[in-house]
Structure formats: structure tokens, C-alpha cells
Amino acid sequence: TERSISTFDFASYHTIEEIYDWMDVLVDDHPNLISKIEIGQSYENRSLYVLKFSTGGSNRPAIWLDTGIHSREWITQATGVWTANKIAEEYGQDPSVTAILDSMDIFFEIIANPDGFVFTHSSNRLWRKTRSVNAGSDCIGVDPNRNWNAGFGGSGSSNDPCSDLYRGPYAHSEREVKAVVDFIQGHGNVKSVISIHSYSQMLLFPYGYKRGPAAHHQELNELAKKAVRDLAAMYGTKYSYGSIANTIYLADGTTVDWAYDNGVKYSFTFELRDTGRYGFLLPSTQIIPTATETWLALLDIMVHVLENPY
């Protein structure tokens, strides 16, 4: 089989095998820029892969991106694929991307919940959680965005294993979460964490587990404001923005709260399109428009991280 980036259809949804194969092709095509790292394995022993974009240096400041932690949010994995390709294409072409990668690394986990993703393809398209077995319950899985050690165990999460918001038995009980925790802490120089979800068109930042403002609230708010304005410039897609607690609701144990509490100032989470006609079943014709507009906001955040070292 001929393996080529040019035959990959970015405007379609893909299986995990197709995406993992595509990652290898991307790495092969950009050997001096991209490498693939296995940061751990999922509950069902699937590899947790991260694409590392780096032009060299040692332990450079880094940006972490992840998509698909809630497996049914297919637009996010698809946006992840498009975005990773975009970063590769734009290095050496676009001055912003070039400047970022000349001094920082980008780590991109495109399928953050592989077991759940496979399950959405084979058995239940609307599966959200991991696939770990819960002792003493017939119900499977933990919500990996309630499993982080940041206000773990309180509002907006559940202690019922049958709930879609089940937080798990303890913080970082999920391998998929623990692998990221270990990676980011082991790296020690991650400056931004951007976790991508869908849907409802929001750009959010800490905190989710408490209503009080984060220490850098004003800066994060200003940056979010600019990012959603630039995003809207492409197709007019309207995003709201603000802290998780004040924009949606109190939610404990989330990725970006954990990142922020562990010293990553620029912690954001996206809720991508749609306006509510399709929910998690956004037609594939919307993948590229979604990814294209999201790119503008992502780039704003990444450039800000570059220009505001701390």
C-alpha cells in the first residue's frame, strides 16, 4: 500500500488505525521536525502516542495539545489530525509557526482516549469515558476530564460508576490521565496546556473547581477574548469565553485546572463547534471549517505563550 499524506482525506472521520498509520507517514515526511513518542498505554493496552514537533534544543519550553479525551467528540480528533498537519506544513512558511518552533516544542496527543475512541467506532458511537472496569459495578469507564487531581471529588462530577461524569476511585486512576500527568511533570518545562473538546463553542480557562478567579485571570481573559474574536473572523462562529466555573458550571478534576495548579499558566480548554444542530454527530463536511477557524485561535494562544515567557 502506498503511504502518502497526499491521499489522506482530512475531511473525513477516521478509525484509530488510520490515524495512527497517518501519524507514521507524517513523521516519515518530516523527519527533522516530528517524532512520535509513546507516553504510556491505555487500560486496554493501546499505545498513547504524542507527536513531538521540535527543531532541536534540549528540554525547550513546550506547548501541550490534546484532542479526543471524550471519545465521542469526533470533531476534536479530526481537528487534531488537521492541526498537526498544519503545524508541519506551516513550519518554514508561516512566520508565527516558524518562530514558535524555533524556540519551543509542541507536543500533540491526538487520541487522548484510544479505548473510548475504538469503542465509539465498534460498539457505541456515543461513548464518552475510558473503558476501565469499576470494581463492584457492572458499569464501565471513568470520565477522564473529572479524574485529575484538582479539586478532585466535588461538584460537577459523580461517584456513581454508571454516570457519564464518574470521577473514578481516586485522582489519576486512569492510565490515560496518569500518562499525561507523568509526561508533563517529567518534562518540567510545559508552558501551555490546551485541551480540546466539543461542542458548544467556548474557550475556557481555570478555574472549574472553584468560582474564585485564577491569579492570572485578567491575562487569560484578554487572551481568550482575542482568540475568539480572531476565530470568529473566518466564518462568524461565535464563541463565549471565561473561567469554566463562571461560564458553564463548577466542574472538579479537570485537565486545565490540574495544569494551572501545577504551574502551567496558559491553560485553556476549547469547546469546538457546533451551534446545536448536530451535537456530537457533526457532519464530516464541517471538519475542515472547524479546524480552520480553530487554528486562528490556537495560533493566537501559542504566539502569546512564545511572546510572554515566564
**Smaller CB separation from another protein, 37 or 139:** 139
Of 9-17, 37-45, 81-89, 185-193, which part binds another protein (CB under 8 A)? 9-17
**The only residue of 37, 38, 95, 162 in contact with another protein, by rule CB under 8 A:** 162
Question: Within 10 Å of residue 64's Cβ, how many Cβ atoms?
Answer: 24
**Listed residue (297, 195, 290) closest to 244, CA to CA:** 195
**The only residue of 7, 122, 137, 308 in contact with another protein, by rule CB under 8 A:** 122
Question: Within 10 Å of residue 216's Cβ, how many Cβ atoms?
Answer: 16
Scan residues 249-308 and list those touching another protein (CB under 8 A). Answer: 249, 276-281, 283-284
**Amino acid letter at 181?**
V
**The only residue of 3, 4, 7, 9 in contact with another protein, by rule CB under 8 A:** 9
Scan residues 173-232 and list those touching another protein (CB under 8 A). Answer: 199-200
User: Least distance in Å: CB of 107 to another protein?
Assistant: 28
Residue 95 within binding range of another protein, rule CB under 8 A: no
Are the C-beta atoms of 185 and 179 separated by less than 8 Å? no
**Smaller CB separation from another protein, 215 or 281:** 281
**Smaller CB separation from another protein, 165 or 305:** 165
**The only residue of 125, 133, 137, 185 in contact with another protein, by rule CB under 8 A:** 125
**The only residue of 3, 4, 7, 12 in contact with another protein, by rule CB under 8 A:** 12
CA distances from 64 to 132, 256, 269 (A): 25, 11, 11
Of 77-85, 121-129, 166-174, 188-196, which part binds another protein (CB under 8 A)? 121-129
Q: Is the peptide bond before 43 cis (omega within 30 degrees of 0)?
A: no
DSSP string, 85-141: HHHHHHTTTSHHHHHHHHH-EEEEES-S-HHHHHHHHHT-TT--S--PBPTT-S-B-
**Smaller CB separation from another protein, 3 or 277:** 277
User: Least distance in Å: CB of 309 to another protein?
Assistant: 36
Q: Which three cell numbers stand for residue 79?
A: 481537528
Q: Which three cell numbers stand for residue 294?
A: 480553530
**Phi and psi for 73 in degrees, rounded to 5?**
-85, 65
User: Least distance in Å: CB of 179 to another protein?
Assistant: 27
User: Least distance in Å: CB of 279 to another protein?
Assistant: 5
**The only residue of 21, 44, 90, 164 in contact with another protein, by rule CB under 8 A:** 164
**Listed residue (10, 106, 114, 39) closest to 71, CA to CA:** 114
Residue 7 within binding range of another protein, rule CB under 8 A: no
Alpha helices in 201-243 (DSSP H): 217-235
Q: How far apart are CA 79 and CA 84, in angstroms?
A: 8
Question: Within 10 Å of residue 130's Cβ, how many Cβ atoms?
Answer: 28
Residue 13 within binding range of another protein, rule CB under 8 A: yes
User: Least distance in Å: CB of 124 to another protein?
Assistant: 4
User: Least distance in Å: CB of 128 to another protein?
Assistant: 9
Residue ranges binding another protein (CB under 8 A): 9, 11-14, 122-126, 162, 164, 199-200, 248-249, 276-281, 283-284
